[in-house]
Amino acid sequence: MISFVKMQGNGNDFIVLDNGDGSFSSRALSDAAMRFCRRRKSLGADGILVVEKSVQADFTMRLFNADGSEGEMCGNGARCISRYAFEKGIAGREQSFSTLAGIMRAVVDPPFVDLSMGISSLSEGWYNRSVEAGDRIFQCSFLWVGVPHAVLFPEEQLSGEEMVNIGRALRNNTELFPDGANVNFVTPKDEGSIYSVTYERGVEDLTESCGTGSAASAVCWILRGGPVRKMAVVDVFNPGGINTVTLSFAENGRDVSASLKGRAVMVAEGFLLEENNKEML
């Protein structure tokens, strides 16, 4: 049996495993993600979060998407694993943890976690280009926020099926995005807030929420609006909840630092049973 905790951040749900003793290889964790994340046939999740030891920080976070691929970072997942580490005594209320995208820092105030996502280089992205997808032209920006995000600004309401088809087409457009990309659909909401729906690379579907997508959406929305203020706070409404993104733009205009605050909820705790995990052992 393998102990787990099921968690969700604004509907972006994860299975959290402790691999501090190194019992499970990367191959085993990838296989486990493909099995355990299946909806209806298993526990179901958008991905698996794994806690491992770190020599640079309090712990290491690893993310395995539902398709078995290992992701660099996930904002909602990072908040969830931060809350998990706090509740399990792995790290304190203020903590740091290693990811493939670098060192992240977080402050836990259950059920909220405020995640510092570090500095993103604006010069590595591109902004406000016309991009064709699904026989339509969209204004699009592209930015790395730990992981690659394409941000679209549709002028008309799109159905879920349309967003899936457009997201899938762009996610696999290697001429535009050699490493693939998450695809965000952003529309204005109230003053100081936007609505963002994300097609996630690795999940290969729309998700209830995306933390890095919320940050990318907020950055590209601010850059689209004209002269950039030094500080900006944007409430990003996802289908599953709200992420509050605080942005600090460097005076040189080349970098932005982002923090992401939202809920990280512990849903259930138990054991993954032998009948479904025997291939992992």
Decide: 63 and 47 in contact? Cβ < 8 Å.
Answer: yes
What is the rounded average pLDDT of the residues 211-234?
87
Q: Answer with the residue of higher pLDDT: 142 or 224.
A: 142
What is the rounded average pLDDT of the residues 251-261?
89
Q: pLDDT at position 280, please?
A: 47
Domain of 100, CATH number, reads 3.10.310.10
- What are the residue numbers of the active site? 74, 210
Mean pLDDT of the chain: 92
Q: How many domains would you assign to the chain? A: 2
pLDDT confidence band for 224 (50 / 70 / 90): confident
The string of pLDDT tens digits covering residues 147-191 is: 899 999 998 899 999 999 999 999 989 899 988 899 999 999 988
- Whether residues 237 and 141 share a domain: the answer is yes
- Whether residues 206 and 76 share a domain: the answer is no
| Encoded tokens for 100 | 């493939």
pLDDT confidence band for 131 (50 / 70 / 90): very high
- Whether residues 143 and 196 share a domain: the answer is yes
Q: pLDDT at position 281, please?
A: 41
Q: Answer with the residue of higher pLDDT: 47 or 228.
A: 47
Tell me the CB-side half-sphere exposure of residue 150, using CA atoms within 13 A. 31
